[in-house]
Structure 1
Amino acid sequence: MNIRTIATTGLTCALFSGLPAGADEVRFDLANEYSPTSLVASMDQDFIDTVAEKSGDTIVITPHFGGSLGFKSKDHFDLVGDGVLPIAGTYTGAFVGIDRMFALSSMPFLAPDVDGAKRLYEIAKPYYEEIFEQNGQKLLYASPYTPVGIWAGKALSSKEDLKDLKIRTYDAASNEVFQVIGAAPIQTSWSDVVPLLGTGGIDAVLTSDESGVTSNFWDYLSHFNALPYSIAINMTHMNADSFDALSPEQQAAIEEAAALVQERNWKRVEERVARNLDIMAEHGIAVVAPDPELVKDLSLASETVLTNWLADTGDDGKAIVSAFRGGS
């Protein structure tokens, strides 16, 4: 077995890949920065279990949720491309600095419901696949989050309520929107959110109800302000050489499992929204319906974000948005 041992800050870990001598079994590691109880982690676990079933247990994937290998989401693209990590499940906003196409799913108010987010992803999928392929990787499937809103200590009804609010944002687009509207956004990786809430470094969090529920946000905040903002996605991606080294039967098992999990993932989202409402109610979280005035203010603030994205992505971006808005 080929074992590559790498040192990270405060952590030394062994990552396994390749064929064990004299056996057909292949072992891979899968990294994901989100907690084991999160929706996106459960989707990756489903993939792991389905791969084992489809491959007759000849492919064994070990999950490392909660960033337990010491890597943040922004590290995953290069690590998987270089073969240090065989597989990772990663929030796509972490890849915006690599290619602006990855900002698409987080475009504010473009595709804020599950059906729209699914259709947008399917239209853009060939473009995503090409980017991964050019960087030594294979896109396996997407894992959608539940709709994004604002966790805060109060109900938010207008841009005045957002003025100077120290709000965690998750990518360049969301950071720009909240800067324009007058808040004090702080773009940070997910693993830093709870520590910042605990120290008062942030007062609010732009994220899904799901992410707040799995991180017990009721220990710090009292309201979830629902918004038709966006549905973010994770993408699970694999080192291309690792995939190519598999037998044809094992490759087929990976691809079949990915297709099955992809279809199940979209169905899980709506089920999870209903579950999360019950959990938030149990913990005393006030779920605030979208305020029309606030939605209007945020929509206006976000107009330049899409305009800039279209300029950055050129004809490809225009083709995707045109196809999406045209209903094709």
Structure 2
Amino acid sequence: MLVTATALASLCLGQIANAAEFEWDQSTEYGPNSVNTKTDEFYAKRLSELSDGRIEITIHSGASLGFREKDHLFAVADGALPIATTVSGTLAGVDPIFLLSSLPFTAKNFDDARKLWEIARPYYEDVFAQYGQKLIHAGWIDPSGVWANKEIGSVEDLKNLRIRTYDATGTRVLNALAASPLQISWSDVVPQLATGSIAAVLTGVDGGAAANFWDYTNTFTQINYAMPLTFVHMNLDTFNALPNDLQKAVMQAGKEATEWRTEQIRKNQAAKYNELRSHDMAVFESVDTLLAAKLTEAAQPIVDDWKVKTGDRADEILKAFHAH
């Protein structure tokens, strides 16, 4: 009995010695198979490695902590959450700068999306700091297309289409084209598809595949609408409470997470198209030039309005972007 008790005591002491100094719960609305959540998991694992296990993050996907994306900024500011994952468009009501990455047809490819992020990062960081937060890392998803039960081959195909959008910009563009858009939180999309409340979804091929949209739609049309950013942000007091070496680990893991995500997105798109086809979906990887022109035309007033609302920052960012 003495040997057993001694062994048990040693085991307990070992567990205490190996326990993380900082344990954080991270909230995300996205499902476990999405690139957003997989990036969060990569980040958590890499940060554990870089911190020698002193920081451990538990990822709570699918809004399982009870927080929606619209709650994240204020939950993190209040300390109810130490860290969260939030798509940029959800924050548009806080500051119009967050609509930059979802401006229609501004970033036309992955390289454009990366340039926009690198140029705009200091502006994003300033806003997060105003809300007592540290921007850790961000990454874009694959270009947005339309999941529906028909090809989107012309403006007529959008007329009266009840389609989910992820921000106010997408809602305005599709309204201008006589669709019937609804801005809906990600975790509510599948229930609304299942009940027929919406007939289509504006999102990337990865997100839709992760949510098995082929159970509700039979066609994906890639319109290269936009590549919105997803941010990971944490409470600034939580960050500042870390010793300097752990602060560096937090940011280094974030840098690596952005690089990892970028590579995944590049490799993932063609594979996802094939996955959709394996589920008997029709996939249209581009739209004709006439529809593309109509989409761009519908978007221009929104880009102009964004520039007015965002002020000098918009001109500074876009001037730098177009100079590259």
TM-score category by the smaller chain?
over 0.9
Q: Provide the rounded CA distance (Å) in 2 between the counterparts of 1:209 and 1:23.
A: 39
Matched, 1:141 2:137: yes
Matched, 1:103 2:105: no
Q: Provide the rounded CA distance (Å) in 1 between the counterparts of 2:305 and 2:122.
A: 22
Matched, 1:269 2:255: no
Q: Provide the rounded CA distance (Å) in 1 between the counterparts of 2:127 and 2:144.
A: 26
Task: Give SS of 2:25's match.
Answer: strand
Q: How does 1:237-316 map to 2 (within 5 A)?
A: 237-288=233-284, 289-316=286-313
Match of residue 67, structure 1, among 63, 79, 90 = 63
Q: Provide the rounded CA distance (Å) in 2 between the counterparts of 1:162 and 1:141.
A: 35
Question: Which deviations, in whole Å up to 9, do the C-alpha atoms of 1:90-143 show, x marking residues without a partner?
Answer: 111100000100000000000031110000010000000111111100001112
Alignment-derived partner of residue 233 in structure 1? 229
Task: Give SS of 1:66's match.
Answer: coil
Q: Contact 2:35/2:261 (CA < 8 Å) preserved in 1?
A: no
User: What are structure 1's unaligned runs of at least 5 residues?
Assistant: 1-19
Q: Contact 1:31/1:63 (CA < 8 Å) preserved in 2?
A: yes
Q: Contact 2:20/2:53 (CA < 8 Å) preserved in 1?
A: no
TM-score (norm 2): 0.93
Q: In 2 relative to 1, CA 81–313 (structure 1 residues): closer, same or farther, beyond 3 Å?
A: same
Match of residue 44, structure 2, among 38, 42, 48 = 48
Q: Provide the rounded CA distance (Å) in 1 between the counterparts of 2:278 and 2:114.
A: 30
Alignment-derived partner of residue 324 in structure 1? 321
Match of residue 184, structure 2, among 188, 210, 219 = 188
Alignment-derived partner of residue 165 in structure 2? 169
Q: Provide the rounded CA distance (Å) in 1 between the counterparts of 2:254 and 2:214.
A: 34
Q: Provide the rounded CA distance (Å) in 2 between the counterparts of 1:276 and 1:91.
A: 21
Q: In 2 relative to 1, CA 138–154 (structure 1 residues): closer, same or farther, beyond 3 Å?
A: same
Q: Provide the rounded CA distance (Å) in 2 between the counterparts of 1:263 and 1:21.
A: 33
Q: In 2 relative to 1, CA 227–56 (structure 1 residues): closer, same or farther, beyond 3 Å?
A: same
User: What letter is aligned with 1:262?
Assistant: T
Q: Provide the rounded CA distance (Å) in 2 between the counterparts of 1:153 and 1:140.
A: 38
Q: Contact 2:102/2:226 (CA < 8 Å) preserved in 1?
A: yes
Deviates more, 1:254-263 or 1:177-186: 254-263
The CA RMSD measured in Å over matched residues stands at 1.5
Q: How does 1:217-228 map to 2 (within 5 A)?
A: 217-228=213-224
User: What letter is aligned with 1:254?
Assistant: V
User: What letter is aligned with 2:314?
Assistant: G
Aligned length: 308
Match of residue 132, structure 1, among 120, 128, 152 = 128
Task: Give SS of 1:182's match.
Answer: coil
Shift of the alpha carbon at 1:291? 2.2
Shift of the alpha carbon at 1:22? 12
Q: In 2 relative to 1, CA 249–284 (structure 1 residues): closer, same or farther, beyond 3 Å?
A: same
Task: Give SS of 2:180's match.
Answer: coil
User: What letter is aligned with 1:215?
Assistant: A
Q: Contact 1:157/1:293 (CA < 8 Å) preserved in 2?
A: no
Match of residue 25, structure 2, among 12, 29, 50 = 29
Q: Provide the rounded CA distance (Å) in 2 between the counterparts of 1:167 and 1:24.
A: 45
User: What letter is aligned with 1:294?
Assistant: L
User: What letter is aligned with 2:58?
Assistant: T
Which of structure 1's runs of 4+ aligned residues deviate more than 4 A?
20-24
Larger Rg: 2
Question: Which deviations, in whole Å up to 9, do the C-alpha atoms of 1:204-244 show, x marking residues without a partner?
Answer: 11000111100111111011001121111210001000011
User: What letter is aligned with 1:33?
Assistant: E
Shift of the alpha carbon at 1:284? 1.0
Q: Provide the rounded CA distance (Å) in 1 between the counterparts of 2:38 and 2:74.
A: 24
% identity of equivalent residues: 42
Shift of the alpha carbon at 1:250? 1.3
